[in-house]
């Protein structure tokens, strides 16, 4: 195993299989709600948040089924946010991961309810962990914080309210920290907390890593929206420009945005070096992310 | 206190004040998302679910701030469901509690996000309880179960899919058990679990009570949609008929539906008598509910 190069795909496939198993165990399989949930969860995402859960847990030598469940939890939460973000009242995106968005494939009511139910499932699966109860509560607290009024929902709300406006760079960073960074950060911290007290003294570095990789990922997304094709992205290219949205390239220029992304990548690698354990896979993940086309 | 007649209003006011205090502590008060959340949470609901948490906890002599928080939790969850149910893609109701619905007062995107954030807050507040951690996890498990694919979201999905169809009585009962009964039941069980092991041997009766009062409440809602006025209801009278929905009166006839509601009321009182402690307030609550006009 040690000499085998780390492959992004192995983890992504594992997460897909675990999610599939979990969702197939739910009652009411014939219901449209369940079909709609499975449609969006099992349509080939990258599972970066789930992979981060694994890689961080591995730093602390944890590889239990608890980690599997935490990875599912953050991916269910992420999928709920994508389904709701795509709704006509939000970003109005008809295509997601190269397929019709949930509300196009099904309908808006089902898409809203699938997102709602996914959020509940994301918390529910954490209650099934076999770690010490107070750690489970800490995980749920972290996750809920990263989703609600201090995280993703506030970020998405600010993002929409600032459409067709030019905002300054700090406001843009704040929006993306909330919209994307918060769940990245909680995924990373959740992957650490499953190890118990082992990770305690690294929580600051891990938080910092979470914020930085979240921003790195978002700056890249903004760049890819310009430089990739619709085919590569699996969603319409140029969608940020269609409804005028301030992005890192629109505020900094494309070249400067690319420089900024590179700086963030270096910063990620710098922070990773402060973490314990074998950091090879994390470093490799950053390199794979830096080359992504979608 | 013992000789003072139980007043529904005292509890409702207490819940309103506690929710107001909790929501006013959130950061980002100036944000539209927070304003929209406060608008829907603090617009004078009945707080029946929260009141049930208190009355059940009192059966087991528990009256701590933990109970306050559980009551807030179930009310936040209920409010999220109302905001999403009112959306144009769902029940398309412009008025709620005599005021413009959230998406009319704000906009659809904000209403979707306010609902999403409320669900997260509802779980978050439970992580702040000071009871034994494994009871907190049990509460979160119960609540998540009652909301997601085995509860409220599935019920609402079935409700919408069966619009403009005539369904049989058992299907209608199933839909309402999921849509309304599940959160009633979990509110009741959550009010019991806060007492710790005290309530263990009553969980069956409490579940049964939750299912029955949930159904009672829903049959009444269907009847009130016909017999009350828009002013009394605080939402448009006759809205079930506008988009043809199977209801208890439409399947049984109004008179039979009233007989059925009375039977369910009697059944509630019968089950209450199997519970421990001073049941006076619970009995009074059922009587007050039986006379409600909204």
Burial grade of A61 (CB within 10 A; 0-12, 13-18, 19 or more): exposed
Q: Which of A30, A144, A177 to mutate to test the interface with B (most CBs of B within 10 A)?
A: A144
| Predicted pLDDT of residue B3 | 43
For chain A, 294 residues long, give each residue's pLDDT as a single digit of tens. Answer: 444 556 788 999 999 999 999 999 999 999 999 999 999 999 988 999 999 999 999 999 988 899 999 999 999 999 999 999 999 999 999 999 899 999 999 999 999 999 999 999 999 999 999 999 999 999 999 999 999 999 999 999 999 999 888 899 999 999 999 999 999 999 999 999 998 888 889 999 999 999 999 999 999 999 998 888 777 777 777 776 666 788 999 999 999 999 999 999 999 999 999 999 999 999 999 999 998 877
Q: Element (H or E) spanning B285, and its range?
A: helix B280-290
Q: Could you state, in order of their start, the residue ranges of all structural domains in chain A?
A: 8-290
Residues of chain B with Cβ-Cβ distance to A132 below 8 Å are 133
Residues of chain A with Cβ-Cβ distance to B112 below 8 Å are 84, 87, 89-90, 112
Query: Residues of chain B whose pLDDT is less than 50?
Result: 1-3
Residue ranges of A 94-123 with Cβ closer than 8 A to chain B: 107-110, 112-121, 123
Report d(CA B116, CA B83) in Å as an integer.
Answer: 10
Q: Do B28 and A123 touch (CB under 8 A)?
A: no
Q: Which of B28, B80, B109 to mutate to test the interface with A (most CBs of A within 10 A)?
A: B109
CB pairs under 8 A between A and B: 165
Residue with tokens 């690294």: A202
Q: Which CATH superfamily is domain B8-290 in?
A: Farnesyl Diphosphate Synthase (1.10.600.10)
B185 Cα to chain A: minimum distance (Å): 17
Instruction: Check if A243 contacts B (Cβ < 8 Å).
Output: no
| Predicted pLDDT of residue A164 | 87
Residue with tokens 């539906």: B257
pLDDT in tens, B79-104: 999 999 999 999 999 999 999 999 99
Residues of chain B with Cβ-Cβ distance to A147 below 8 Å are 116-117, 120
Report d(CA A94, CA B282) in Å as an integer.
Answer: 50
Residues β-bridged to residue A96: A99
Report the relative pairing of strands B95-96 and A99-100 from DSSP bridges.
unpaired
| Predicted pLDDT of residue A293 | 78
| Predicted pLDDT of residue B230 | 73
Residues of chain A with Cβ-Cβ distance to B107 below 8 Å are 89
In 3-state terms, what secondary structure has residue B274? coil
| Predicted pLDDT of residue B241 | 66
Q: Do B116 and A153 touch (CB under 8 A)?
A: yes
| Predicted pLDDT of residue A294 | 77
Question: Could you report the predicted ipTM of this complex, rounded to two decimals?
Answer: 0.95
B78 Cα to chain A: minimum distance (Å): 13
Burial grade of B36 (CB within 10 A; 0-12, 13-18, 19 or more): buried
Closest in A26, A116, A160 to B84, CB measured: A116
Q: Which residues have CB under 8 Å from B259's CB, separation 6+?
A: none
């Amino acid at each position: 195993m040690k000499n085998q190069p780390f492959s992004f795909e192995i983890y992504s496939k594992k997460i897909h299989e675990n999610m599939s198993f979990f969702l197939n165990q739910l009652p009411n399989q014939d219901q449209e709600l369940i079909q709609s949930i499975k449609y969006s969860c099992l349509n080939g995402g990258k599972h970066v948040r789930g992979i981060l859960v694994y890689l961080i847990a591995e730093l602390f030598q944890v590889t239990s089924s608890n980690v599997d469940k935490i990875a599912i939890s953050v991916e269910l939460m992420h999928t709920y946010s994508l389904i709701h973000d795509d709704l006509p009242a939000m970003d109005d995106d008809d295509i997601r991961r190269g397929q019709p968005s949930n509300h196009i494939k099904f309908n808006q009511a089902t898409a809203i309810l699938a997102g709602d139910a996914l959020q509940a499932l994301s918390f529910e699966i954490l209650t099934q962990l076999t770690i010490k109860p107070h750690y489970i509560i800490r995980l749920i607290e972290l996750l809920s914080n990263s989703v609600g009024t201090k995280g993703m929902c506030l970020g998405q709300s600010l993002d929409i309210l600032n459409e067709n406006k030019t905002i300054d760079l700090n406001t843009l960073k704040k929006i993306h920290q909330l919209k994307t960074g918060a769940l990245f950060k909680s995924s990373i911290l959740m992957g650490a907390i499953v190890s118990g007290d082992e990770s305690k003294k690294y929580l600051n570095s891990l938080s910092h890593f979470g914020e930085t990789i979240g921003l790195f990922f978002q700056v890249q997304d903004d760049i890819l929206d310009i430089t990739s094709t619709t085919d590569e992205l699996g969603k319409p290219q140029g969608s940020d420009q269609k409804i005028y949205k301030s992005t890192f390239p629109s505020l900094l220029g494309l070249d400067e945005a690319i420089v900024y992304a590179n700086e963030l990548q270096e910063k990620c690698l710098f922070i990773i070096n402060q973490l314990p354990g074998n950091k090879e896979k994390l470093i490799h993940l950053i390199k794979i992310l830096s080359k992504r086309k979608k």
